[in-house]
């Protein structure tokens, strides 16, 4: 934004057409204003009205960011770093002249975070509450209203000014809704009160119970579960342990009820029901170690009842998975992937994506190697990194033929991962983002009370899954790989193993990493967690030198920027999503070759193009090996020079 001389004044603002923008906007929200302000700036520019153009450009910058109320003051300041002192002086002059509370709150908030103007912080609190009142609509999506209330409360607490007014505003809304609002307004507001331990616990525990019962009667299980958990938190704040435990039991029961509901409503009833029962098991397992002996016994009884039911549901679920083919013209696969998640509720779409395939079967990878001669018979294959260093070498020793075969199988699996990500994962992920506006919190149902997600790691998994879902594989990869490693140790401990090493002399105990824990020779218990195919896939993806080896390469800083956008990172994200959606997939191992489940991995099974696939793979390998040979020759020439 160019500065003009003399600087803009209050009169420039009053004489501009800014009020037309507000009045013409059906929704009184900054992001709605933003686009119109830019249009007005362009109109003023074309008309040669420089001062009006500058006014609208400043207002467009002011309204152009979606501020998250939980963010830090430093973050706010960074968002508006392009506003100069001259711009801020202009905003200070006009703040009290702005009659629209939404725009006034934004301007005042900016002046607080940029200039530490206490009076503007006070004004922002009042204006945010007024804007929230205008945007309040329990019948529609409520985030606009809640975010302004939340920002007002955080500001009020920070500057110690009229926090009680904000709390009164929240409580008035809760009284009006009376637990009967159809969406999430009361949920968000009670969670906000609980964060600061504000409000009457007895009153709001009763209100949460009423809302939970209403939600259950409508089969809105997520909301019901949320309300039971909110009720439990109110009792915890009130130091009523008995009622806290009882509410958490009711929250766990919603998983069982949702499983029963899925059997009549979901297109893949037993798959979905199995997922819900698994979450119920996790919830009851936590509860059976808490509370009085009587409470522990009740939770244990429910745990055993659900545990007996789960295997039957899992057995029934084997016939509910779709078949995927391996055409190299992937347009049909792309359309299939999009169709499979299209038009679904967000949670159903995510669950569908998690089920859109299984890891390549070891038997088929073996078959692909059997149909192509091992190049190591003539010369060992080497894999080099971007610096020309050999990081993996295939054995040419006849006594190590099995090792050479597995070397090639891991290489072939990399091709599968890339092809699968491009044909299925990315199109489905894109379709989900097209239809749903997602936040981190939307991933919590997939990681809460989850066998694969250790307690206390839910946010990290949700954050990693969210990042991958929106295509930020740089973030998702950095978050998820360490969490996978920790989850493997967590599951091994549950199986009775000790995934750590104790140095008796020094009295130090170190955790084992994936290079140790993912191999049955070190921990036989890993076979009771993953079947052969899933285990092979994780080994190749994370720790095998001839595979993607992502865990070790990331740990040592060996992945460059561009590689974080590769299909392999998409596949890693999908594998993690699958592990969260269908924990403990060991029952796959029991399936016979005739079962429809086998066709689900489908990259080779009964595929008329299998021979063509193998030929293309062999040709691809020849090209890669030729490139490697050329690189080696180049390096040798440079070294000798």
- Tens of pLDDT, residue by residue over 552-574, are 999 988 888 888 888 999 999 99
What's the CA gap between 167 and 171, in Å, rounded? 6
Spatial distance between the Cα atoms of 56 and 18, rounded to a whole number of angstroms: 7
What pLDDT, on the 0 to 100 scale, is given for residue 39? 93
d(CA 171, CA 203): 11
Inter-residue contact 245 to 287 (CB < 8 Å):
yes
Residues 6+ apart with CB under 8 A from 90: 7, 8, 9, 13, 58
Share of the chain above pLDDT 70, in %: 81
Split at pLDDT 50, 70, 90, the class of 503 is low
Residue 541 carries which DSSP code?
Answer: H
Predicted pLDDT at 170: 97
pLDDT for the residue numbered 11? 94
598 close to 361: Cβ distance less than 8 angstroms:
yes
- pLDDT tens digits for 53-64? 999 999 999 998
**Gap between the Cα atoms of 439 and 359, Å rounded:** 28
Quote the tokens at residue 543.
């720790």
Q: Report d(CA 618, CA 441) in Å as an integer.
A: 45
Note whether 268 and 259 are within 8 A (CB): no
Per-residue pLDDT at 101: 97
Report how far apart, in Å, the C-alpha atoms of 496 and of each of 493, 524, 525, 526 are.
5, 11, 8, 11
Residue with tokens 């309204």: 63
d(CA 408, CA 403): 9
Neighbours of 335 (CB within 10 A): 12
Contact 458, 483 (CB under 8 A): no
Q: What is the mean pLDDT of the chain?
A: 82
376 DSSP assignment: G
SS3 of 307, please?
helix
pTM: 0.63
- Residues 153-193: tens digit of each pLDDT: 999 999 999 999 999 999 999 999 999 999 899 999 999 99
Let me know the angle formed at the C-alpha of 259 by 255 and 265, rounded to the nearest 5 degrees.
130
The pLDDT of residue 429 is above 80? yes
Residues 596 and 319 sit within 8 Å (Cβ to Cβ): yes
Token code pair at residue 319: 């016939």
Helices (H), 178-200: 185-195
What is the mean predicted confidence (pLDDT) over 254-282? 88
Distance CA(444)–CA(450), nearest Å, equals 10
Q: What pLDDT was estimated at residue 311?
A: 81
Q: How does pLDDT run across 575-597, given as a tens digit for each residue?
A: 999 998 875 333 333 333 333 32
Range with lowest mean pLDDT among 68-72, 157-161, 344-348: 68-72
| Dist. CA 601–CA 323, nearest whole Å | 7
Domain layout of the chain by residue ranges: 261-320, 331-487+564-640
DSSP string for 481-522: HHHHHHHHHHHHHHTT---EEEETTTTEEEE--HHHHT-TTT
Q: Interhelix angle for 269-287 vs 293-317, to 10°?
A: 160
Count of residues for the chain?
Answer: 641
Q: Which residues of 118-142 are buried (b: 16+ CB within 10 A; e: fewer)?
A: eebbbbbbbbbbbbbebbbebeeeb
Choice between 366 and 376, residue whose per-residue pLDDT is larger: 366
């Amino acid at each position: 934004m160019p500065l003009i001389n003399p600087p803009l004044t209050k009169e420039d603002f009053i004489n501009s057409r800014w009020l037309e923008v507000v009045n013409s906007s059906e929704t009184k929200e900054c992001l709605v204003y933003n686009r119109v302000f830019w249009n007005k700036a362009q109109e003023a520019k074309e008309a040669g009205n420089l001062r009006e153009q500058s006014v609208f450009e400043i207002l467009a910058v002011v309204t152009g960011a979606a501020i998250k109320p939980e963010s830090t003051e430093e973050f706010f300041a960074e968002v508006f770093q392009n506003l100069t002192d001259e711009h801020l002086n202009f905003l200070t002059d006009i703040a009290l002249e702005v009659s629209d509370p939404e725009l006034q709150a934004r301007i005042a908030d900016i002046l607080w975070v940029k200039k530490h103007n206490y009076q503007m912080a006070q004004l922002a609190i009042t204006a945010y509450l007024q804007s929230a009142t205008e945007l309040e609509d329990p019948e529609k999506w409520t985030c606009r209203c809640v975010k302004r209330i939340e920002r007002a409360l955080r500001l009020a607490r920070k500057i110690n000014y009229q926090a009680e007014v904000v709390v009164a505003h929240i409580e008035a809304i809760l009284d009006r809704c009376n637990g009967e609002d159809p969406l999430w307004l009361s949920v968000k507001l009670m969670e906000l009160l609980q964060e600061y331990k504000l409000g009457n616990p007895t009153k709001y525990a009763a209100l949460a119970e009423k809302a939970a019962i209403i939600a259950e009667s409508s089969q809105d299980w997520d909301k019901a579960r949320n309300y039971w958990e909110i009720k439990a938190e109110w009792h915890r704040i009130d130091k009523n342990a008995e009622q806290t435990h009882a509410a958490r039991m009711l929250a766990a029961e919603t998983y069982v009820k949702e499983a029963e509901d899925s059997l009549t409503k979901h297109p893949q009833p037993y798959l979905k029901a199995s997922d819900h029962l698994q979450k119920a098991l996790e919830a009851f397992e936590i509860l059976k170690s808490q509370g009085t002996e009587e409470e522990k016994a009740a939770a244990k009884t429910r745990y055993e009842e659900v545990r007996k039911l789960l295997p039957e549901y899992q057995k029934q679920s084997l016939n509910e998975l779709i078949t995927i083919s391996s055409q190299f013209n992937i347009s049909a696969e792309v359309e299939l992937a999009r169709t499979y998640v299209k038009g679904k509720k967000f949670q159903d779409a995510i669950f569908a994506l998690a089920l859109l395939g299984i890891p390549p079967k070891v038997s088929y990878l073996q078959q692909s190697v059997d149909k192509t001669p091992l190049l190591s018979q003539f010369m060992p294959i080497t894999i080099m990194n971007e610096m020309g260093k050999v990081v993996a070498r295939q054995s040419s020793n006849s006594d190590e033929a099995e090792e050479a075969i597995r070397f090639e199988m891991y290489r072939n699996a990399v091709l599968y991962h890339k092809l699968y990500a491009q044909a299925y994962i990315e199109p489905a992920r894109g379709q989900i983002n097209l239809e749903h506006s997602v936040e981190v919190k939307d991933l919590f149902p997939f990681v809460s009370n989850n066998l694969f997600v250790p307690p206390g790691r839910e946010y990290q998994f949700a954050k990693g899954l969210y990042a991958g879902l929106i295509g930020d594989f740089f973030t998702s990869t950095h978050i998820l790989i360490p969490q996978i490693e920790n989850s493997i140790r967590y599951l091994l401990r549950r199986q009775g193993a000790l995934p750590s090493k104790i140095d008796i002399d020094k009295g130090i105990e170190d955790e084992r990493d994936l290079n140790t824990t993912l191999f049955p020779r070190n921990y036989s218990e890993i076979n009771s967690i993953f079947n052969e195919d899933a285990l092979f896939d994780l080994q190749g993806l994370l720790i095998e030198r001839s595979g993607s080896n992502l865990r070790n390469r990331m740990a040592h800083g060996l992945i460059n920027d561009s590689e974080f956008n590769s299909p392999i990172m998409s596949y890693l994200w999908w594998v993690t999503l699958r592990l969260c959606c269908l924990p403990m997939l060991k029952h796959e191992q029991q399936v016979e070759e005739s079962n429809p489940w086998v066709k689900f991995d489908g990259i080779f099974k009964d595929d008329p193009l299998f021979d063509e696939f193998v030929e293309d793979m062999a040709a691809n390998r020849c090209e890669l090996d030729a490139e490697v040979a050329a690189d080696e020759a180049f390096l040798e020439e440079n070294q000798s020079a």
